[in-house]
């Protein structure tokens, strides 16, 4: 069975400081990994994904994530956080072999960026 | 804007009533997904359509739930005899293929009183 863990319920960071949101996964095969962001009362907005290739993936709004197969992690990073980055972030995984492509999400990490 | 749209955005109903939600995917996306998100949790997969065919249903989708995508375009999710435990955000997503990103709509927030 596959699973995704986001070990931190909340991450607090000052504006301008680096932001890291952690994600670890457990799958029996090759994973596709995704990060989404959710603002209050809104749907999920796609940030980036890892399918194959370069382990460092760059996405929207200055975010990037690094796929680490040995540590089964896919942490989301941003060099300099903005107040507008305050939102709920979700990591998701799907199996390469899953022909239906359904996603399994972590519980989410609330990011709070203070001015 | 040609993103995924959902209607209504909010629905308040009394226990035992039936409700129906609509999702309009991005044009030409042949894959459509429904997820449910409860407070403090990530979205959970409910069901999946490829064109008009419903190919997978989660065990979360009890007999009171039914979904359709009659012409392979928009989809509806109906909940019969709603229960308080059905209160959640219902999210729809579409993609052009399983290798591709799923794009989500704004969701329908259901409150069952």
Q: What is the dihedral of CA A36, A93, A76, A109, to 10 degrees?
A: 60
pLDDT of residue B71: 86
Neighbours of A101 (CB within 10 A): 21
CA distance A40 to A23: 21
Which residues 25-84 of B are in CB contact (within 8 Å) with A?
A: 31, 33, 35, 40-45, 48, 55-56
Residue of A nearest to B99 (CA): A101
pLDDT of residue A40: 84
Would you say A105 and A75 are in contact if contact means Cβ atoms under 8 Å apart? no
Would you say B61 and B78 are in contact if contact means Cβ atoms under 8 Å apart? no
- Nearest Cα to Cα of residue A64 among A52, A50, A78: A78
CA distance A23 to A8: 9
Residue B4 forms contact with A (CB below 8 Å): yes
CA distance A19 to B35: 28
Chain A residues near residue B41 by CB distance under 8 angstroms: 107-108
A46 vs B41, B101, B105: nearest CB: B101
Q: Would you give per-residue pLDDT tens digits along chain B (113 residues)?
A: 579 999 999 999 999 999 999 999 999 899 999 999 998 899 999 999 999 998 888 888 889 999 999 988 999 999 999 999 999 999 999 998 766 799 999 999 999 99
CA distance A37 to A48: 10
What is the DSSP-derived secondary structure letter of residue A60? G
- Long-range CB pairs of B65-74, under 8 A, 24+ apart, other chains included: B67/B34, B69/B32, B72/B30, B73/B24, B73/B25, B74/B22, B74/B23, B74/B24, B74/B25
The DSSP bridge partners found for residue B22 are B7, B76
Residue of B nearest to A6 (CA): B42
3-state SS, A65-112, equals EEEECCCCEEEEEECCCCHHHCEEEEEEEEECCCCCCCCEECCCEEEE
Chain B residues near residue A100 by CB distance under 8 angstroms: 48, 55-56, 98
pLDDT of residue A22: 98
Chain B residues near residue A41 by CB distance under 8 angstroms: 109
pLDDT of residue A102: 86
Would you say A96 and A2 are in contact if contact means Cβ atoms under 8 Å apart? no
pLDDT of residue A52: 85
Q: Which residues of chain A have pLDDT under 50?
A: none
């Amino acid at each position: 069975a596959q699973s995704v863990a986001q070990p931190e319920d909340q991450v607090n960071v000052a504006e301008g400081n680096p932001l890291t949101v952690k994600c670890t996964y457990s799958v029996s095969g090759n994973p596709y990994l995704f990060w989404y962001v959710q603002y209050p009362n809104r749907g999920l907005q796609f940030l980036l994904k890892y399918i194959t290739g370069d382990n460092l993936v760059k996405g929207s709004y200055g975010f990037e994530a690094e796929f680490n197969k040995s540590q089964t992690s896919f942490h989301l990073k941003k060099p300099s956080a903005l107040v507008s980055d305050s939102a709920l972030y979700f990591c998701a995984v799907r199996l390469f072999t899953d022909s239906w492509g359904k996603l399994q999400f972590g519980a989410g990490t609330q990011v709070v960026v203070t001015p | 804007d040609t993103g995924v749209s959902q209607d209504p955005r909010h629905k308040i109903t009394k226990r035992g009533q039936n409700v129906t939600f609509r999702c309009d995917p991005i044009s030409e996306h042949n894959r459509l997904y429904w997820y449910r998100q409860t407070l403090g949790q990530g979205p959970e997969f409910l069901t999946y359509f490829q064109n008009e065919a419903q190919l997978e249903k989660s065990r979360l989708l009890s007999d009171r739930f039914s979904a359709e995508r009659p012409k392979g375009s928009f989809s509806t999710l109906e909940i019969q005899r709603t229960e308080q435990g059905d209160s959640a955000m219902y999210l729809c997503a579409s993609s052009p293929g399983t290798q591709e990103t799923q794009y989500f709509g704004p969701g329908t927030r259901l409150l069952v009183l």
